Structure 1
Amino acid sequence: MDSSTFETDEPLTPAGRLFLRPEINQIIHCVIGVRDSIDVDSVKSQIAGSVMVQHPRFSSLLVRDRNGVEYWRRTSIEVDRHVIVVAEPVLDDGASDEKAVNEYLADLAINSSMDADKPLWEIHLLLAHKCAIFRIHHALGDGISLMSMFLTCCRRADDPNALPTIVLDSRPARKTRRWRWAEEIPKMLLAVWFNFLFVAEFILRALWVSDRKSPISGGDGVELWPRKMATAKFAVEDMKAVKKAVANVTMNDVLFSVIGAGLSRYLEHRQPKGLKEGLQLTGVAMVNLREQRGLQELTQMMKGNRGFGWGNKLGILLLPVNYEKKTLDPLQCVVRTKKMLDRKKRSFEAHFSYGVGKLIMSYLGPKVACILNYRIVCNTSFTISNVIGPREEITIGGNPITYIRSTSTSLPHTITMHMVSYAGRAEMQILVAKDIIPDPEFLAECLENALLEMKTAATIFQTK
């Protein structure tokens, strides 16, 4: 192909190139459940007139030059090629909609291929189950970018002219005060120390240090194993009750406390004897690094204004949880988790991982970056991500949305957990390698019960 053709194309970002590597090839699956039956023609019409098909990423083909370097090339959209209609129920045994949709998603999780002769997105309409699955390659953008775009197509159920709103985790306002050397120097030294520890851990994890073997360990090649999926459901008010009972904690502190306690419950069930108390399991958490979090202004993102740029702006945190038996006070678990996460925040760990990854991609290429990222995943135990959704009920095309869930194609981890909050509920999609974890429904129950225990402890604490 003429080299001048590529001069008019747009090169992929370093992160976009990484997500296209065969070893990490990641596709996001966002599931939207609706109350009323789906009108296929109406959906196609809405897509054709939406912001999505006007966006450069969603209207571009992935092409490669003779050196294998990837570019985006603008093309026209044929909506019919992007909409896949599944008219019949996914399962024939009268299974619930949730089970059927999860079965469909589990099958998609090990199918990371997408036709390269069209832009890298699809919408699967499961008519019998009243849901749509947005299947979007991660090279097109991260969860925050894609959630922002999706919400521009929605309206509030109580006000058809209003866009949805997202309320972020409240943080105490910074007070302006005089610099006090005696207070600030120790904080700076701690930040330097925590950064040093993270850099060392990051390098060691990318080389050879790994979690000890446990009933949930994955590893090289596990991303190809058959998958199974379950949904854990939480009430946001329950999480807020726990947050209120422990000073200065965030919703993320509560969430990760629930994960730690839930995994301990599950491990105790799987292997009641033989696991050492305090066994460390390390999670890889994906962190949004945008300056303005939450619902992004789409026009700002498309213009690439500072802090709003479209694409993938994600760092990672390596978050340890320890296997503990049920003797630990649930609220003490939250306190301990908060202390660990506070150290992580002081370390600038997520920003460091993003910056180093970008440098490696730019100077050593996607192959080296992929090897390092793949080894980090192989040497840890699970993946966790959390996207904040709208706080009120919303509609799309006038059809009320009943739930929003998210997951992705599989990784070498045996467990990946993706949570999205919506209208007072938070639902976590738990994707597992079913030959290692045959009972994800029980794992979901362990997580749900962990939050309920914390809520009960919080209620008792507040009534004293």
Structure 2
Amino acid sequence: MSPREGFTWKRKVEPNLKPVETTRRWDETQGDEGSGGVVEEGEPLSPSAQMFHEPNFNVYIVAVMGCKTPIDLPVIKSNLVHTLLKHPRFSSLQVEDEKEKGKFRWIPTNVDLEKHIIVPKIKPGMDSPERFIEDYISNLSKTTICKTQPLWDIHILNVKTSDAEAVGVFRIHHSLGDGTSLMSLLLACTRKISDPEALPTIPVKKSKEKRDYGRIWGWLLGVCWFLVLLWNTAVDTIMFGATVLFLKDSESPIKGPPGVELMPRRFVYRTVSLEDIKMVKNALNATVNDVALGVTQAGLSQYLHLRYAETKKRHGATKIRNDLPKNLRLRSTLLINLRPSIGIQGLAAMMEKDTEVKWGNRIGYVLVPITIALHSNPLDYVREAKATINRKKHSLEAIFTHSIAEVVLKLFGIKAASALSHRVITHTTMCFSNLVGPLEEIGFYGHPLAYLAPGCYGQPHGLMVNFQSYANKMTFVVSADEGTIPDPHRLCDDIVEALKLTKDAVLESGRAGGTT
């Protein structure tokens, strides 16, 4: 009998709640006070936000912040009042509409910080602080936040680890916003260590220089570009439809079983040199994202190679022997935010001056094939990742898949849209993301940060890999269902080793240059 057979486990959730009493106004056209003329104030949740409340897609974002100093609780509380609580989503309840059952609205409320800031009692002299942090976050993934309060909290863990003096864990329900916007909001609460009044500097994508090909050649290239865009979009849309209907990834040791979204997860992270990644990037004329995906493919290939070898009881298998099955289909689902980026400057202005910003979840899907193979040249993984990402950039897949989900939502309702999303994700194997962080060291309300490590739980994948840059470092997070991946530390080690081998291959080739 498999470890899961006959085993039932569900995340601890809050019971169904009656409508919450919140701020209201009296509608004078309906009569006097007490006559029943009451109207709720607040806008409805977007369809994407409401979808994150479906039982099979109840997703929380977890952002781990390692601090170089112990965390001062009074300082955190006093600053939250003047920053994060100024954001409407962080000071509003999600209340079910009494007229439209199953639909929710944002209702402003008074925030009790004591319910949102959790400081657990910690026994001194623990054997492994790192294991304590891991266990704490894993136990956190077994719970949800009560809907009688805004759906976020922060956990203060004044525990000294090998790379931080203390750890803060932000937990935010995905209905409050997409991952990129929420990370930008947290960064808008930080300031440079070198200039405590200045916001962090976030890298801006450089626009390519336009070449003058002449009128005729320019027209022909434009037509070719458009035709390739149409072709790629058509192929990707067909593949998306096939994935919804029947196309599944191959069964593998890293593919989660049905119901994996309800299982607790373990978050394991490593910090590597961003300069090493940039060296590879420059040598191959690639991007940081290309290198991150490439070393992830290399690490996963080695990890799966050993898992298959162990399954066949060949524990002494060498790296030369290939135990990977042929034609292994393995894809990553990327959820792409289609809303224009607000930027940390706009979010900081919103919190300081009460200005309005556009906010929400407007998400499209991109299905990215992951190469699983044993290459003799580590640079081949990055080259393949670069080719895949370049093709995906030249496609409207995210826009079309979002439109398909919108049509399903309007025609058949939120349950059908949620079922479509769940089916797409369960037919793929993992999720991968890469978030761009500040160029310099920053402080969160005066606490210098050693690293940033974001992840998620509640998604129907057994594995998620997130990369987050910070100053001259890159931290990647493996969040995994331990029933699927019982040894996430080994997977992290394989990814670290893949980066080292890739860097060494660049040095041996003599192509190592600058790290811009």
Q: Same fold (TM over 0.5)?
A: yes
What is the root-mean-square deviation of aligned Cα atoms in Å?
A: 2.4
The verdict on how the C-alpha distance between 1:164 and 1:336 changes in structure 2, with shifts beyond 3 A counting, is: same
Equivalent in the alignment of 1:69: 103
Equivalent in the alignment of 1:280: 329
Equivalent in the alignment of 1:320: 369
Query: How do 1:227-246 and structure 2 match up within 5 A?
Result: 227-246=265-284
Q: Would you say the 8 A contact 1:406–1:429 is kept in 2?
A: yes
Equivalent in the alignment of 2:62: 29
User: Distance between the aligned counterparts of 2:284 and 2:501, measured in 1?
Assistant: 14
Following superposition, the deviation at residue 314 of structure 1 comes to 3.2
User: Distance between the aligned counterparts of 1:92 and 1:220, measured in 2?
Assistant: 40
Following superposition, the deviation at residue 386 of structure 1 comes to 1.8
The verdict on how the C-alpha distance between 1:109 and 1:168 changes in structure 2, with shifts beyond 3 A counting, is: farther
Following superposition, the deviation at residue 286 of structure 1 comes to 2.8
Q: Would you say the 8 A contact 2:371–2:384 is kept in 1?
A: no
Q: Would you say the 8 A contact 2:279–2:503 is kept in 1?
A: yes
Q: Would you say the 8 A contact 1:261–1:447 is kept in 2?
A: yes
Following superposition, the deviation at residue 463 of structure 1 comes to 4.9
Equivalent in the alignment of 2:222: 184
**More displaced stretch, 270-279 vs 12-21:** 270-279
The verdict on how the C-alpha distance between 1:304 and 1:421 changes in structure 2, with shifts beyond 3 A counting, is: same
Equivalent in the alignment of 1:201: 239
Following superposition, the deviation at residue 456 of structure 1 comes to 1.3
Equivalent in the alignment of 1:117: 148
The verdict on how the C-alpha distance between 1:300 and 1:187 changes in structure 2, with shifts beyond 3 A counting, is: farther
**Deviations 1:334-366, CA, capped at 9 Å, x for gaps:** 222211211111111122223333343344322
1:260 and 2:297 are equivalent in the alignment: yes
Structure 2: 5+ residue runs without aligned partners? 1-18, 20-35, 161-165, 310-321
Following superposition, the deviation at residue 3 of structure 1 comes to 8.0
Q: Would you say the 8 A contact 1:231–1:430 is kept in 2?
A: yes
Q: Would you say the 8 A contact 1:286–1:384 is kept in 2?
A: no
**More displaced stretch, 441-450 vs 392-401:** 392-401
Following superposition, the deviation at residue 152 of structure 1 comes to 2.2
Equivalent in the alignment of 2:493: 445
Q: Would you say the 8 A contact 2:292–2:467 is kept in 1?
A: no
User: Distance between the aligned counterparts of 1:460 and 1:294, measured in 2?
Assistant: 40
2:84 aligns with one of 43, 52, 55 = 52
Following superposition, the deviation at residue 186 of structure 1 comes to 2.7
1:433 and 2:481 are equivalent in the alignment: yes
Following superposition, the deviation at residue 153 of structure 1 comes to 1.8
Equivalent in the alignment of 1:219: 257
Following superposition, the deviation at residue 332 of structure 1 comes to 2.4
Equivalent in the alignment of 1:150: 186
**More displaced stretch, 440-449 vs 290-299:** 290-299
Equivalent in the alignment of 1:164: 200
**Deviations 1:353-408, CA, capped at 9 Å, x for gaps:** 23333343344322111101111111111011221111111112222111111111
1:101 and 2:133 are equivalent in the alignment: yes
The verdict on how the C-alpha distance between 1:229 and 1:3 changes in structure 2, with shifts beyond 3 A counting, is: farther
1:334 and 2:370 are equivalent in the alignment: no
User: Distance between the aligned counterparts of 1:266 and 1:127, measured in 2?
Assistant: 34
Q: Percent identity?
A: 34
Following superposition, the deviation at residue 191 of structure 1 comes to 1.6
2:308 aligns with one of 255, 262, 271 = 271
1:409 aligns with one of 452, 457, 476 = 457
Q: Tell me the SS of whatever aligns to 1:11.
A: coil
Q: Would you say the 8 A contact 2:192–2:442 is kept in 1?
A: yes
Q: Tell me the SS of whatever aligns to 1:23.
A: helix
1:41 aligns with one of 57, 74, 87 = 74
User: Distance between the aligned counterparts of 1:140 and 1:109, measured in 2?
Assistant: 18
Equivalent in the alignment of 1:140: 176
Q: Would you say the 8 A contact 2:333–2:367 is kept in 1?
A: yes
User: Distance between the aligned counterparts of 1:139 and 1:361, measured in 2?
Assistant: 17
Q: Would you say the 8 A contact 2:188–2:345 is kept in 1?
A: no
2:347 aligns with one of 294, 298, 319 = 298
Q: Tell me the SS of whatever aligns to 2:373.
A: coil
User: Distance between the aligned counterparts of 1:353 and 1:298, measured in 2?
Assistant: 28
Following superposition, the deviation at residue 21 of structure 1 comes to 1.1
Following superposition, the deviation at residue 279 of structure 1 comes to 1.7
Q: Would you say the 8 A contact 1:239–1:251 is kept in 2?
A: yes
User: Distance between the aligned counterparts of 2:473 and 2:343, measured in 1?
Assistant: 17
Following superposition, the deviation at residue 452 of structure 1 comes to 1.3
Q: Would you say the 8 A contact 2:306–2:323 is kept in 1?
A: no
Q: Tell me the SS of whatever aligns to 1:61.
A: strand
The verdict on how the C-alpha distance between 1:238 and 1:79 changes in structure 2, with shifts beyond 3 A counting, is: same
Following superposition, the deviation at residue 42 of structure 1 comes to 2.3
Matched residue type, 1:391: L
Following superposition, the deviation at residue 443 of structure 1 comes to 0.2
Equivalent in the alignment of 2:15: none
The verdict on how the C-alpha distance between 1:12 and 1:243 changes in structure 2, with shifts beyond 3 A counting, is: same
**Deviations 1:143-179, CA, capped at 9 Å, x for gaps:** 2222222222211111111111111454423446636
User: Distance between the aligned counterparts of 2:220 and 2:511, measured in 1?
Assistant: 39
Matched residue type, 1:428: F
Structure 1: 5+ residue runs without aligned partners? none
User: Distance between the aligned counterparts of 1:184 and 1:45, measured in 2?
Assistant: 55
The verdict on how the C-alpha distance between 1:361 and 1:45 changes in structure 2, with shifts beyond 3 A counting, is: same
Q: Tell me the SS of whatever aligns to 2:281.
A: helix
Q: Tell me the SS of whatever aligns to 1:403.
A: strand
User: Distance between the aligned counterparts of 2:466 and 2:448, measured in 1?
Assistant: 23
1:388 and 2:436 are equivalent in the alignment: yes
User: Distance between the aligned counterparts of 1:157 and 1:209, measured in 2?
Assistant: 50
User: Distance between the aligned counterparts of 2:37 and 2:496, measured in 1?
Assistant: 56
Matched residue type, 1:284: T
Name the TM-score, length of structure 1 as normaliser.
0.91
Aligned residues: 455
Matched residue type, 2:90: F
Matched residue type, 1:86: P
User: Distance between the aligned counterparts of 2:212 and 2:363, measured in 1?
Assistant: 30
Equivalent in the alignment of 1:419: 467
Q: Would you say the 8 A contact 1:86–1:126 is kept in 2?
A: yes
Q: Would you say the 8 A contact 1:35–1:399 is kept in 2?
A: yes
Task: Tell me which structure has the larger Cα radius of gyration.
Answer: 2
The verdict on how the C-alpha distance between 1:309 and 1:227 changes in structure 2, with shifts beyond 3 A counting, is: same
